């Protein structure tokens, strides 16, 4: 199904005059519904342009009429497991916030409060109709994208970090790492939370709108329906985009101009995405702004409704034409109507101890709808039997790439029996947890449990860790700001509960962020490598906490993804020796410090020792293992450092001059450049925002042809703004950052 695009023309405001109205709704034929917007040609007023939409709403349309016609029909689909996205788009002051949020009076309430009211009503009805067998829970998350940074609106502004919350791609969806989610019992509960959260949103008065939204606001309403141990989850997203602004008309001051530039840029990227999708381009520039990454137009499944808000006045003429152009093309975007999978609740799992040794990696690409995905042994559940849908034992589809426009069968997994609880950690799982009642099912009816850990769970663990680090950083920043004054209770608690060694230094954080960025980009190309990188990241974090056992555990896991990686083997060896030494139980080849390694591994470790100071000259896959390079190895200083640097430079220029083979590091650098991903390129050494932006602009100008990719460092050096030193620094940085 295509994105449904509807236009809404707002009424005249005070001081606006009838004579200035130039935009009107029309029908293709008399007696048919309004589906056309008409507007004069600015160059020749006697000519009129027509733009067709799925529906057009006139100035007199009430909030209730719009909701009943456009949103209410999709509530049923939401409860059937489809995600629903509604977003308001348009120039500043055209009525987006009015449409989405509306006023406080009952009749003025916008799409969002009406949506929630309907969700609660339907939830209650389902409970009643099933005699309480099915329960419906509603949870909210709400955030804004301000100056291309993501901030949680459910958290007080004091808790914001300057860089905002990071984004990550997870199973084909973009998620905000560390975002809070609040359960909302009923409409009152929601209203209280929503009003409070809206106070945290950045709005300001501009010449064009007294209460202009300076950010894009995204509300996610997660609906969870539970019947016995069967869980169905779906999400309604209501997005109030900030409006584009013509700054020749705004008379914006410096701050407003900065905001306006960010707003206009993200909306420009959105229009580029829409154009690229409607042209059928292979490359869609989603990643050039956070808003487009989150909106994922045409990538997300379910139902998408775009509400184009229009002001009828002449003063908006050119802006209105521009937004009519963009949104009329959005109609061509296809969205796969795929419902979310039903899953069965599972007890929490552990990734340590017994379970960890049995760890198995899913052999699949990232799973679609991962928030519903649990790995486990499939079995036929009575409830599933009753359903018409065929049972799928394992989640086997991804929303990447072309897919048939049909709903896949529901995936069914079975909960673990309660007698496994002794081997399970008490750590709460992010996944649905069983009730006493579901745990109490007879063991005979259940398949033997398989202790495994899925990519989704590893992802969840990484996210949790990153969220912890970010929280910790926020607390440290807050404490620093408080300077000599005594820290507030909450800050003191947070800081004091974190052990000193787990306080991440800036340098380490920088490395972690670089690694995260790397994980993010790699996940699009190479899931196995990403999983390995995640293990390394977790190892690194464990090490930072002083948890050598944990670090060793994750390094060992990483070895499965980077087999034979010499530096990694070296780290494992050192850690094993350290731990064995600490416990006095050293075994195996203790004289060499090699514990329980096979012959190849030992040989590799010897190689590590031998070449410890020549790492920069090595070509080996998976230099990611270099991430852990600090405490165990003495830093190389003075003359040695100089000679390393010279060697690296020599290596770079051997490649540039075409004398040597292309190294993995060169390929990695070229991959980053050719990704045209601003965030990734900015992460390269020696690349500031401007240089990165200029490069991306230049590459985009060259088009999407294969011939326009940068094939060598020599080519890279020749690009505008590059040069030898820049290329050399970026090349070197790939090792020193990781």
Ligand X SMILES: Nc1ncnc2c1ncn2[C@@H]1O[C@H](COP(=O)(O)OP(=O)(O)OP(=O)(O)O)[C@@H](O)[C@H]1O
Considering only 35, 85, 97, 663, the residue that binds ligand X (CB under 6 A) is 97
Instruction: Please indicate if the annotation marks 733 as binding a ligand.
Output: no
Shortest distance (Å) from residue 242 CB to ligand X: 5
* H/E stretch holding 326: helix 317-330
Residue closer to ligand X (CB basis): 68 or 490: 68
Segment contacting ligand X (CB under 6 A): 5-13, 391-399, 476-484, 530-538? 5-13
726 binds ligand X (CB under 6 A): no
Structure tokens at 722: 């590059």
Q: How far apart are CA 242 and CA 261, in angstroms?
A: 11
Token pair recorded at residue 520? 């993010």
Is residue 279 a contact point for ligand X (CB under 6 A)?
no
Q: Which of 111, 242, 515, 734 binds ligand X (CB under 6 A)?
A: 242
Contact present, 596 and 588 (Cβ < 8 Å): yes
Closest Cα partner for 416 from 459, 445, 396? 445
Q: Taking the chain, what is the end-to-end CA distance rounded to the nearest angstrom?
A: 44
212 makes contact with ligand X (CB under 6 A): yes
> Is there a contact between 57 and 7 (Cβ–Cβ < 8 Å)?
yes
11 binds ligand X (CB under 6 A): yes
The C-alpha atoms of residue 341 and residue 171 are separated, in whole angstroms, by 14
DSSP state of 348: -
Interacting stretch for ligand X, rule CB under 6 A, among 85-93, 317-325, 521-529, 606-614? 85-93
Cα–Cα distance, 201 to 213 (Å, whole number) = 8
Task: Indicate the residue among 203 and 700 with the shorter CB distance to ligand X.
Answer: 203
To the nearest 10°, report the CA torsion of 530, 536, 541, 544. Answer: -150
Q: For residue 244, give both structure tokens.
A: 């584009």
Q: Does the annotation list 95 as a binding residue?
A: yes
Position among 4, 74, 96, 160 found at the interface with ligand X (CB under 6 A): 96
Q: How far is the CB of 320 from ligand X (least distance, A)?
A: 12
Residue from 289, 296, 301, 309 touching ligand X (CB under 6 A): that is 309
Question: How do beta strands 342-344 and 149-152 pair?
Answer: unpaired
Question: Which residues within the stretch 521-540 sit at the binding site for ligand X (CB under 6 A)?
Answer: none
Q: How far is the CB of 112 from ligand X (least distance, A)?
A: 12
DSSP H helices, 17-70, are 63-70
Residue closer to ligand X, measured from CB, 268 or 394? 268
Give yes or no for residue 252 binding ligand X (CB under 6 A).
Answer: no
Selected from 134, 200, 213, 304, the binder of ligand X by CB under 6 A is 213
Q: Which of residues 438-467 bind ligand X (CB under 6 A)?
A: none
Question: CA nearest 541: which of 502, 593, 505, 577?
Answer: 502
H runs (alpha helix) in 498-637 = 506-525, 527-544, 548-561, 566-583, 599-610
Query: Is residue 90 part of an annotated ligand binding site?
Result: yes
Residue 361 to residue 375: CA distance in whole angstroms: 10
Alpha-helical (H) ranges within 393-501 are 436-439, 455-481, 489-497
Phi-psi region of 598 (alpha: psi -120 to 50; beta: other; left: phi over 0): beta
Residues 6+ apart with CB under 8 A from 234: 78, 79, 80, 81, 82, 83, 84, 222, 223, 302, 339, 340
The minimum distance between CB 10 and ligand X, in angstroms, equals: 4
Integer CA distances (angstroms), 166 to 221, 506, 513, 675, in order: 20, 16, 9, 19
Nearer to ligand X, 202 or 407 (CB): 202
Please check if 96 is assigned to a binding site: yes
- Asked whether residue 413 is marked as a ligand-binding residue, the answer is no
35, 85, 92, 362: residue in contact with ligand X (rule CB under 6 A): 92
Residue 107 CB, nearest approach to ligand X (Å): 11
Q: Which stretch binds ligand X (CB under 6 A): 10-18, 42-50, 115-123, 471-479?
A: 10-18
Residue (of 729, 727, 679) closest to 513 by Cα position? 679
**In this chain, which stretch among 95-103, 149-157, 444-452, 588-596 interacts with ligand X, using CB under 6 A?**
95-103
With CA atoms as reference, report the closest residue to 188 among 200, 177, 196.
196
Please tell me whether residue 95 binds ligand X under the rule CB under 6 A.
yes
Among 81, 90, 417, 449, contact with ligand X (rule: CB under 6 A) = 90
Name the residue nearer to ligand X (CB basis): 13 or 28.
13
Least spacing, CB of residue 211 vs ligand X, in Å: 5
Query: Which of 1, 2, 13, 589 touches ligand X (CB under 6 A)?
Result: 13
CB of 9 to ligand X, least distance (A): 8
Any contact of residue 98 with ligand X (CB under 6 A)? yes
Nearer to ligand X, 94 or 454 (CB): 94
* Among the listed residues 32, 76, 211, 690, the single contact to ligand X using CB under 6 A: 211
Binding segment toward ligand X, per CB under 6 A, in 8-16, 428-436, 484-492, 667-675: 8-16
**Residue 91 annotated in ligand binding:** yes
Task: Determine the Cα–Cα distance for residues 247 and 485; give it in Å rounded to an integer.
Answer: 43
Q: Give yes or no for a contact between 573 and 593, defined as CB atoms under 8 angstroms apart.
A: yes
Is 97 annotated to bind a ligand? Reply is: yes
Please say which residue, 15 or 634, places its beta carbon nearer to ligand X.
Answer: 15
Instruction: Find out whether 94 is annotated in a ligand binding site.
Output: yes
94 binds ligand X (CB under 6 A): yes
- CA-to-CA dists, residue 95 to 3, 89, 242, 426, 725, angstroms: 21, 9, 11, 49, 50
CB nearer to ligand X: pick between 91 and 727: 91
Residue 501, burial from CB neighbour count under 10 angstroms (0-12, 13-18, 19+): exposed
With a CB cutoff of 8 Å and minimum separation 6, the contacts of 202 are 144, 146, 213, 214, 215, 259
Binding span for ligand X by CB under 6 A among 209-217, 313-321, 378-386, 644-652? 209-217
Member of 39, 83, 87, 93 binding ligand X (CB under 6 A): 93
CB of 18 to ligand X, least distance (A): 16
Binding mask 600-639 for ligand X (x = CB under 6 A): ----------------------------------------
Nearer to ligand X, 256 or 534 (CB): 256
Question: Of 40-48, 211-219, 483-491, 546-554, which segment contacts ligand X by CB under 6 A?
Answer: 211-219
Asked whether the beta carbons of 673 and 710 are under 8 A apart, the reply is yes
Nearest approach, Cβ of residue 201 and ligand X (Å): 10
The neighbour count for residue 625, using CB atoms within 10 Å, is 27
Cβ atoms of 304 and 402 within 8 Å: the answer is: no
Report the SS3 class of residue 426: coil
Nearest approach in angstroms of CB 344 to ligand X is: 42
Q: What is the DSSP string of 657-699?
A: TT-SPPPHHHHHHHHHHHHT-HHHHHTSTT--HHHHHHHHHHH
Q: Nearer Cβ to ligand X, position 248 or 639? A: 248
Q: Cβ distance 176 to 217 under 8 Å? A: no
Nearer to ligand X, 168 or 214 (CB): 214
> Within a 10 A sphere around the Cβ of 134, how many other Cβ atoms?
18
Nearest alpha-carbon partner for 213 in 349, 99, 84: 99
With CB under 6 A as the contact rule, which of the stretches 89-97, 581-589, 619-627, 685-693 interacts with ligand X? 89-97
- How many residues of this chain bind ligand X (CB under 6 A)? 18
Closest approach of ligand X to the CB of residue 305, in Å:
17
Return the residue of 6, 7, 10, 668 that touches ligand X, per CB under 6 A: 10
The verdict on 205 binding ligand X (CB under 6 A) reads no
Give contact residues for ligand X (rule: CB under 6 A). 10-11, 13, 90, 92-98, 209, 211-213, 242-243, 309
Binding site members for ATP: 90-97
């Amino acid at each position: 199904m295509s994105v449904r695009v509807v236009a809404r023309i707002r009424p005249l405001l005070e001081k606006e005059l009838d004579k200035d109205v130039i935009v009107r709704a029309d029908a293709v034929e008399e007696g048919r519904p309004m589906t056309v917007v008409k507007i004069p040609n600015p160059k020749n007023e006697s000519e009129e342009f027509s733009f067709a939409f799925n529906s057009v709403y006139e100035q007199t349309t009430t909030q209730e009429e719009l909701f009943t016609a456009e949103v209410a029909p999709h509530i049923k689909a939401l409860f059937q497991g489809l995600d629903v996205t509604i977003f308001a788009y348009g120039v500043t002051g055209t009525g987006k916030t009015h449409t989405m949020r509306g006023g406080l009076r009952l009749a003025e309430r916008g799409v969002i409060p009406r949506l929630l009211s309907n969700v609660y009503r339907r939830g209650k009805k389902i409970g009643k109709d099933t005699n309480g067998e099915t329960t419906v829970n509603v949870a909210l998350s709400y955030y804004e994208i301000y100056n291309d940074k993501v901030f949680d609106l459910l958290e007080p502004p004091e808790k914001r970090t300057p860089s905002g919350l990071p984004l990550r791609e997870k199973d084909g969806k973009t998620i905000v790492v560390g975002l809070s989610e609040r359960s909302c019992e009923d409409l009152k509960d929601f209203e209280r939370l929503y009003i409070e959260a809206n106070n945290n949103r950045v709005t300001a008065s501009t010449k064009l709108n007294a209460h202009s939204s300076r950010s894009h606001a995204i509300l996610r309403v997660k609906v969870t329906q539970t019947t016995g141990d069967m869980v169905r989850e779906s999400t309604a997203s209501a997005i109030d985009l900030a409006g584009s602004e013509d700054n020749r008309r705004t008379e914006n001051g410096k701050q407003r101009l900065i905001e306006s530039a960010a707003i206009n840029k993200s909306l420009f990227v959105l229009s580029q995405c829409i154009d690229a999708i409607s042209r059928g381009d292979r490359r869609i520039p989603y990643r050039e702004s956070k808003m487009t990454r989150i909106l994922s137009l045409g990538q997300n499944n379910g139902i998408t409704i775009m509400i184009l808000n229009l002001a009828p006045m002449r003063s908006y003429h050119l802006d209105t034409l521009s937004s009519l152009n963009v949104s009329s093309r959005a109609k061509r975007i296809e969205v796969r109507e795929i419902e979310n999978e039903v899953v069965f609740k599972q007890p929490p799992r552990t990734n340590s101890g017994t379970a960890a040794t049995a760890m198995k990696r899913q052999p699949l690409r990232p799973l679609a709808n991962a928030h519903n995905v649990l790995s486990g042994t499939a079995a036929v559940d009575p409830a599933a039997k009753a359903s018409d849908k065929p049972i799928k034992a394992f989640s086997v589809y991804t929303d990447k790439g072309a897919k048939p426009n049909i709903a896949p069968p529901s995936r069914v997994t079975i909960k673990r029996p309660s007698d496994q609880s002794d081997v399970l950690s008490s750590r709460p799982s992010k996944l649905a947890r069983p009730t006493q009642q579901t745990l109490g099912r007879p063991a005979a009816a259940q398949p033997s449990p398989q202790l495994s850990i899925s990519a989704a769970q590893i992802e969840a663990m990484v996210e949790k860790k990153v969220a912890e680090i970010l929280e910790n950083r926020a607390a440290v920043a807050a404490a620093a700001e408080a300077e000599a004054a005594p820290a507030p209770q909450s800050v003191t608690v947070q800081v004091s509960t974190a052990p000193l060694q787990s306080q991440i230094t800036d340098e380490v954080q920088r490395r972690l962020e670089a690694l995260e960025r790397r994980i993010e980009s790699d996940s699009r190309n190479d899931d196995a490598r990403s999983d390995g990188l995640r293990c390394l990241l977790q190892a690194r974090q464990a090490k930072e906490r002083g948890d050598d056992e944990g670090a060793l555990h994750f390094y060992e896991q990483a070895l499965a993804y980077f087999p034979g990686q010499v530096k990694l083997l070296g780290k494992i060896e050192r850690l094993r020796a350290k731990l064995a030494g600490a416990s006095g139980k050293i075994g195996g080849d203790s004289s060499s410090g090699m514990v329980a390694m096979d012959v190849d591994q030992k040989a590799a470790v010897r190689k590590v020792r031998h070449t410890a100071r020549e790492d920069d000259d090595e070509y080996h896959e998976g230099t990611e293992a270099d991430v852990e390079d600090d405490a165990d190895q003495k830093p190389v200083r003075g003359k040695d450092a100089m000679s390393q640097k010279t060697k690296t430079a020599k290596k770079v220029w051997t490649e540039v001059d075409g004398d040597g083979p292309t190294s993995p590091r060169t390929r990695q650098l070229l991959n980053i450049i050719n990704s045209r991903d601003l965030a990734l390129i900015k992460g390269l050494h020696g690349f500031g925002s401007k240089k990165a932006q200029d490069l991306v602009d230049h590459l985009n100008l060259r088009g999407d042809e294969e011939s326009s990719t940068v094939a060598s460092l020599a080519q890279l050096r020749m690009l505008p703004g590059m040069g030898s030193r820049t290329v050399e620094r970026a090349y070197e940085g790939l090792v020193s950052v990781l």
